[in-house]
């Protein structure tokens, strides 16, 4: 069990580095789709490198498989609120990663699309698909912060600016909700909607 946790922890660190850059990229969409794509193209120089991309895919697979095993082992012994948050946010992130990574690979290999800003927000800006994509993306971002918050609560042993580890973790979790709203603000053109280029209409039932 200890070795499995270690493997899960290491793959989690790798993914956290990527997710941090990825969320920063999404936050930049507040400045417009062109700015998002500009920054994405700069980041792709790193993460679209064959070695790095392979490492990320292996980390995703490792995180899902080890996470599911840990979930099965821990679901009956989780006691505190943060232990339960850790468990359930991990389960949702496994679900999200399976769908999201498969969609991106499918978009690149079979639809021959650039899986850029428009690939990600096509469903988010189209009714009724947004009824799925709003909670789908929203829960994912919140779950990342919830997962990190629960780890922080477990590993942090000292107070910080007068705040106990649990309070620090709570603030981190709440920050996830604010960041989610901020990302949606950019991804929906400041809640006015984004015009999706014609080639991405295939994602929402168009031609």
Question: Domain locations in the chain?
Answer: 2-201
Task: Kindly state the DSSP code that residue 195 receives in the 8-state scheme.
Answer: P
* Cβ-contact 60, 37 below 8 angstroms: no
Using DSSP's 3-state secondary structure scheme, residue 129 falls into coil
CA distances from 68 to 74, 91, 93 (A): 10, 7, 10
159 pLDDT above the threshold of 70? yes
Residue carrying the six token digits 């973790």: 169
Residue 134 confidence (pLDDT) = 97
Residue carrying the six token digits 């947004």: 130
Closest CA to 17 of 120, 116, 148: 148
Residue 207 confidence (pLDDT) = 62
pLDDT grade for 39, boundaries at 50, 70 and 90: very high
Q: How much is the pTM? A: 0.95
68 pLDDT above the threshold of 90? yes
1 pLDDT above the threshold of 80? no
180 pLDDT above the threshold of 80? yes
Residue 160 confidence (pLDDT) = 84
CA distances from 78 to 37, 60, 72, 86 (A): 41, 24, 11, 9
């Amino acid at each position: 069990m200890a070795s499995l946790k270690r493997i899960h922890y290491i793959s989690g660190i790798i993914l956290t580095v990527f997710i941090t850059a990825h969320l920063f990229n999404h936050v930049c969409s507040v400045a417009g789709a062109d700015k998002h794509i500009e920054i994405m193209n700069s980041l792709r120089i790193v993460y679209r490198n064959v070695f790095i991309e392979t490492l990320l895919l292996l980390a995703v697979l490792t995180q899902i498989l080890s996470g599911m095993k840990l979930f099965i082992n821990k679901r009956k012994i989780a006691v505190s609120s943060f232990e339960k948050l850790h468990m359930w946010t991990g389960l949702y992130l496994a679900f999200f990663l399976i769908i999201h990574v498969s969609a991106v690979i499918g978009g690149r290999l079979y639809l021959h699309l650039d899986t850029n800003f428009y690939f990600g927000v096509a469903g988010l800006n189209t009714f009724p698909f947004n009824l799925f994509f709003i909670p789908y993306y929203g829960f994912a971002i919140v779950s990342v912060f919830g997962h990190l918050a629960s780890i922080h609560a477990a590993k942090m042993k000292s107070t910080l600016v007068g705040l106990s580890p649990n309070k620090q973790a709570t603030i981190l979790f709440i920050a996830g909700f604010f960041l989610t709203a901020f990302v949606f603000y950019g991804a929906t053109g400041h809640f006015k909607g984004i015009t999706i280029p014609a080639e991405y209409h295939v994602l929402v039932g168009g031609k």
